[in-house]
Structure 1
């Protein structure tokens, strides 16, 4: 059993039954396939509409600012673009699953925040999904492929447009685009 310490405002852990139900729905909806091998990527069947971004360009000296900027922008978009959603469900592969009210989160996580118990939109070693309760809108971060899939019209129109200013698009609606890193 995983021990969950108190975290930031707006976060509450799912019960074991809620977690199991959420992962079962996620697996059924997206055909989730965890893999460190490129042959198994992407790890989900990316829905339409969706846009997937290449996070590998943020490695090296850009990593800390990219991590902070992406998490802050995602938080802003969750609040502004999804005002009708009280809580997102947040899945963290092999860890605690969460209910998250982005309106109550007082500060996006920083890379060096060693006290961080909750996942971030920017994948930092695990698969992270931030999803509307019906799983039609949200994000999915792939740590090994170094990608972020943004799902649903409202988030594509906000978070997707913002990220497209500085991150390459690698897939749209699950289909490859030019600009894919080799």
Structure 2
């Protein structure tokens, strides 16, 4: 878990770099996501099966993108936040928060904020951005796209 001081520094950086709008129903995508980015509607996947699908897709991808021994930020707005080594979190029960939002705004970010995900509970959407997107977009081709940026 991040210390209160580290958490404050991370959220300041999130607000500066990604500029999230934490209203319940924002304009899509709800953040200023680095390109490429795509925001998918996940309304039909708000279920244990949907959580499992996205966890099985994204968590191994995080491991491929993060060198062993390095960490990603796992942020839950207005709740404890974490810096975790994805290689160490083998099962669902070891992850501090689920990939899909369940009432809170969730971020999974690399330290540079170049790639990651942003789950928006009000929109029931998941924004995937940066070099992470090409790694998973084929598996998400059947999901409705709410917003996209290629620049």
TM exceeding 0.5 = yes
Question: Quick one: distance in 2 between partners of 1:28 and 1:108?
Answer: 31
Where do 5+ consecutive residues of structure 2 fail to align?
Answer: none
Look at both structures and tell me which one has the larger radius of gyration over its CA atoms.
Answer: 1
Closer/same/farther in 2, CA of residues 51 and 41 from structure 1, 3 Å limit: closer
Matches within 5 A, 1:12-161: 13-38=1-26, 40-59=27-46, 63-83=47-67, 86-109=70-93, 118-153=96-131, 155-161=132-138
Post-superposition CA distance 1:120-146 (Å, at most 9, x none)? 211111100000101111111001101
Question: Quick one: distance in 2 between partners of 1:81 and 1:174?
Answer: 20
Where do 5+ consecutive residues of structure 1 fail to align?
Answer: 1-12, 110-115, 176-182
Once the two structures are TM-superposed, the CA of residue 159 in structure 1 deviates from its matched residue by 2.2
Q: TM-score, normalised by structure 1?
A: 0.75
Closer/same/farther in 2, CA of residues 107 and 117 from structure 1, 3 Å limit: closer
* RMSD (CA atoms): 2.2
Q: What is the number of residues matched between the two proteins?
A: 151
Q: TM-score, normalised by structure 2?
A: 0.89
